[in-house]
């Protein structure tokens, strides 16, 4: 956990920013909050996993939820500097961790098979 403290800090900060995001569509806002919570949840599962395949799978799911967050933000034109910066940093960190986890498993990227 402490090895990835900064990434976890960005994930939880991104979740807080998503909760505070202001826009009118309630269903879209709920989707953004749900997806941002799942990013933090699956990232935590990934860093607690003892198996590299399980870790890579959870990182992949966290990254997928993060990209879903971006889709919601794009649809609703949420372009605040702070939330976009958190997204970019978090996306880069999760991608790096995912590739490192994949390489530890001899480069296998078949997540759901």
Residue 43 lies in a domain: yes
Residue 22 lies in a domain: yes
Domain total of the chain: 1
Domain of 66?
2-104
pLDDT at site 30 = 94
Residue 75 lies in a domain: yes
Band of pLDDT at residue 111, cut at 50, 70 and 90: very low
Residue 112 lies in a domain: no
pLDDT at site 108 = 58
Backbone angles phi, psi at 79, to 5 degrees: -125, 30
Q: pLDDT digit string (tens) for 84-96?
A: 999 999 999 999 9
Residue 109 lies in a domain: no
pLDDT, average across residues 72-84: 90
Q: What is the pTM of this model?
A: 0.87
pLDDT at site 100 = 83
Residue 30 lies in a domain: yes
Whether the Cβ atoms of residue 39 and residue 65 lie closer than 8 Å to each other: yes
Residue 67 lies in a domain: yes
DSSP letters for 58-96: HHHHHHHHHHHHHHHHHHTT---HHHHHHHHHHHHHHHH
- Supply the CATH number for residue 88's domain: 1.20.1440
Q: pLDDT digit string (tens) for 15-69?
A: 999 999 888 888 899 999 999 999 999 999 999 988 888 888 899 999 999 999 9
In sequence order, the 6+-apart residues with CB closer than 8 A to the CB of 36 are 14, 15, 18, 19, 65, 69
pLDDT at site 105 = 65
């Amino acid at each position: 956990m402490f090895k990835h403290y900064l990434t976890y800090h960005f994930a939880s900060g991104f979740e807080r920013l998503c909760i505070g995001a202001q826009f009118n569509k309630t269903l879209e806002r709920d989707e953004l909050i749900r997806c941002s919570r799942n990013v933090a949840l699956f990232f935590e599962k990934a860093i607690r996993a003892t198996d590299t395949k399980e870790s890579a799978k959870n990182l992949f799911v966290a990254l997928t939820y993060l990209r879903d967050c971006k889709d919601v933000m794009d649809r609703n034109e949420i372009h605040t500097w702070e939330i976009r910066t958190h997204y970019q940093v978090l996306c880069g960190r999760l991608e790096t961790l995912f590739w490192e986890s994949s390489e530890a498993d001899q480069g296998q990227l078949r997540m759901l098979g």
